[in-house]
Amino acid sequence: MTKIVAHRLCALAVDVGVDALILQSPENVAYGLGFVVPSQPLMRWRHAAVVFAADERRAAICVDMEYATVRARCVDLDVRSWAEFTGSAMVTLAELLGDLSLANGRLGLEFNYLSAADYAELSALLPQATFVAVDADVARLRQIKTPEELALLGRLSRIADRAIAKSFAEVSIGSTEMDLAATLTRSVYEQGAEQFKLMIVATGERSEQPNVGPTSRRLASGDVCRVEIFPVIDGYHAGVCRTAVVGEPPPFAQEIYDNLAACKHLVLEAICPGASARGVYETFRAQFDELDLPPISFVGHGIGVDLHEEPYLAPFSEATLEVGMVLGIEPLVYRTGHGFGMQIKDMVAVVDGGCQLLSDVSDTDALLRIGG
C-alpha cells in the first residue's frame, strides 16, 4: 500500500508546484506511512511528519520514545527522532529539510492541522522557504483508494458487520447495553482489528440520540436498538450500523424501517461513476420524505483514514462520484416522534458500472430481531 500511496504523494507535489509535501496530521501520517504512529493521535504535541519530495525522496520524523516502533515499520526510510521534553519537533523537521536541500524551497503544509505556534517556529527556522497549503489537495487525492486500501476497507466492513450481528445474537431481555458493547468490542478484536474509533450503543429511548456510548440500561421488550462501530487497522476505518428490535417492534417501527431499507436500495442503485453526489441525496429524499419525518442533511460520505471525508452525498455537494471512492451510506432518522431512532449504515465502493457493497454479511432488508 505505502509504495503506491508514496508515489501518488510525490506526484501530487509536482502537480501542485511544490518541492515537497510535509504531512503532519495523524490521518495523513498514517496515510503516508501505512500505519499509525501510536501516540500521535492521542497527544497532539507528540509530532510526527512525513516528507514526500517531488523527486520521489521520502523521510520522516517522530518523537524519540516511538522511534523504534516507526523504524521497525519503515526499514527503507530516513527516520529522524526528536527528544520529547528537551527537544523540538520543528527543529528536527527543519534540520531534515535542510539535509534534503529543501530549506529554500516551496513546501506544502497542512495549514488546517499545524498550530499557529508550530508554524511560527518552523517559519523562523526556515526563513527562505515558501509555505503553501495543500490540505485540500491531499484530501482530494485520498478520495480515490488503491486496490490495497479497497481490500482493507472491505475487511474492516465485514469485521464491523459480523461483530454487530454477534452482539445482537448474544443478548436478550434483561441484558444491558454494556453487554452488547462487551460482545461487540471482543468480536472486533478477535477478528483482527487493532482498535475501534467510535462505538454507538443506543437502545430504547436512547436510540434517538446520535453518537452515544453504552450504559447500564437494560433491554426491554419492544426496544429499538441502534448499534454502530468503527473498527480500525493501520489508521483506516469502516463504519457499519444496524438496527434491531427486542421481540416485536413498537408501533410504526416496521413502517419506518421498511422506508429506510427502500432508501438503501435506491441509494445503492444511484451510486455509480459519473453520478452526482447531490443527485444521490435527492434520490434518497424522494423516498424518505414519504415518512414526513425530519431528514438528515446528508445520506453518505467518504471514509478512509478519517471517519468523514469528502465527498458528501448531500444537497450542498458539487462532487461527481468516481471509481475507487469508498462511501459510508446511512439512511437514518433519529427523532421519529415515537420514542426511537433507526439507522442502516453500510460501506460501499464505487466500481465500474455501479457500486459494490462491502458490508455484506447481514441482510438488512428486514428489521433485525433480538430474542426474548
Strand partners, 280: none
What is the three-state SS of 50-85?
A: EEEECCCCEEEEEEHHHHHHHHHHCCCCEEEEECCC
Q: What is the mean pLDDT of the chain?
A: 97
Grade residue 258 by pLDDT with cuts at 50, 70 and 90: very high
CA distance 229 to 28: 22
CATH of domain 2-142: 3.40.350.10
* End-to-end Cα distance, the chain: 46
Q: Is the CATH number of domain 147-370 3.90.230.10?
A: yes
pLDDT at 86: 97
Strand boundaries in 71-223, DSSP class E: 78-82, 106-109, 130-133, 195-203
> What percent of the chain has a predicted confidence (pLDDT) above 90?
99
Please state the rounded mean pLDDT for residues 287-291.
97
CA distance 255 to 42: 43
| pTM of the predicted model as reported, rounded to 2 decimal places | 0.97
pLDDT at 47: 97
R_g of the chain computed on alpha carbons: 23
Coil/strand/helix, residue 138: helix
The ranges assigned to domains in the chain are 2-142, 147-370
| Cell 439507522 sits on residue | 343
The distance of Cα 16 from the centroid of its chain, to the nearest Å, equals 25
Please state the rounded mean pLDDT for residues 112-131.
98
CA distance 94 to 100: 10
pLDDT at 372: 53
